[in-house]
Amino acid sequence: MGQTWASRLIIFTTLLFLVGPFIIIIFAGLSAGSSLAFPPDGLSLKWYLAVFEVESFRQSFVLSMFLAVGGTLTALVIGVPAAYAICRYNIPGAETIKIIVAAPIIVPGIIVGLALLRYLVVPLEFTVTLALFLAHTALVLPYAVRVVSASLQNLRTDIEEAAVLLGCNRLQAFTKVILPNIRSGILAAFILGFVTSFNQVPVSLFLSGPGVRTLPIDMLAYMEITYDPSVAALSALLAFLSIGIVFIAEKTLGFSRYV
């Protein structure tokens, strides 16, 4: 009995530790006062509404959406064939390729950001937006390759040969038999990539320019000047967005199989 209580306490504390900040943010955003505080200074929805009035938030939200959707789609266009090649062919150094592909998540984001700034934006005069796009694509690519590889590995190789013997050429065998069977893996990779890209801070920190900021960076900048609860409100809204996406993904795809 004592053991059960002890383990329950540990579980409860752990969960509180994980969820606590989120709860604080939600309530801090509900404050009726004009500075960020917890417990909130009275309750109101005004800061949740105020978020939508801030012009720079709207701009950076659009940029973040573009990076998350565009970067992830690009990463999938590159990653799906790469995963297919790694899984199906005896490529020399396939393991090395896998490690290199994973590099952007292993190397600290600060370094990636600095490197991109120093070697792409400054000397080659890449626009900040293009550099951001390339950075986000690279960051999401490991997820695309890994998640799609996982679902390819669960697929028998002989179904492709079966399709060929029934009259498919190689491309048809891929689109008619392989793609439909790894569809949920691709969707899972997309969602994972989207969330990763959208919440990305360290790389984007270095790649900001006049009027070009991703939403998290814009929020940081906003807080340096204005210490009102709208940032908390926005954070809560973004967290709900992520939870919503992952929840739908779990319900429709069994997302946890892939992550």
Partner 1 sequence: MSNIAVSLQNLTLAYGDTIAVPSLNLDIIDGELIALLGPSGCGKTTTMRAIAGLMKPRSGTILIDGKDVTKTPANKRGVGLVFQSYALFPHLTGFENVAFGLRLKKRPNDEIVQRVEAGLELVGLSHLATRKPSELSGGQQQRLSLARSLVMEPKVLLLDEPLSNLDARLRLDMRTELQALQRQTGITMVFVTHDQSEALALADRIVLMKNGHIEQIGSPEALYDSPQTVFAADFVGFENIFSVGLNTQNEGTTIYNNTGELTLPYQANVSHLAWRPGGVVVGSGPHKGVVTGMAFAGDKREYVITTSAGKIKADVDVSVPAIQIGEDVFFDLPESSARMLDDKATQTQFKHG
Q: Which of 167, 171, 224, 251 binds partner 1 (CB under 8 A)?
A: 167
Which residue, 34 or 175, has its beta carbon nearer to partner 1? 175
Q: Find the binder of partner 1 among 12, 21, 108, 161 (CB under 8 A).
A: 161
Closest CA to 129 of 221, 75, 60: 60
Q: What are phi and psi of 117, to 5 degrees?
A: -65, -45
Stretch that binds partner 1, among 29-37, 115-123, 132-140, 153-161 (CB under 8 A): 153-161
| Greatest extent of the chain over all pairs of C-alpha atoms, in Å | 71
* Residue 32: partners with Cβ closer than 8 Å, 6 or more residues away: 40, 41, 42, 43, 44, 46
Residue placing its CB nearer to partner 1 in the complex, 198 or 258: 258
Closest to 80 (Cα-Cα) out of 16, 7, 149, 169: 149
CA neighbor of 145 nearest in space, from 234, 81, 67, 198: 81
Site string for partner 1, 181-220 (x = CB under 8 A): x---------------------------------------
Segment near partner 1 (CB under 8 A); pick from 62-70, 82-90, 160-168, 218-226: 160-168
The nearest distance, CB 51 to partner 1, in angstroms, is 42
Using rule CB under 8 A, residue 177 touches partner 1: yes
Question: What minimum distance in Å lies between the beta carbon of 203 and partner 1?
Answer: 37
Angle at 182 between CA 180 and CA 188, to 5 degrees: 120
Cβ 191 to partner 1, closest distance in Å? 20
Instruction: Please pick, from the candidates 37, 102, 105, 164, the single residue that binds partner 1 as defined by CB under 8 A.
Output: 164
90 is a contact residue toward partner 1 (CB under 8 A): no
Tokens of 143: 């997820």
Tokens of 11: 């579980």
Q: 34: closest CA among 210, 233, 198, 187? A: 233
- Given the rule CB under 8 A, which residues bind partner 1? 155-156, 158-159, 161-169, 172, 176-177, 180-181
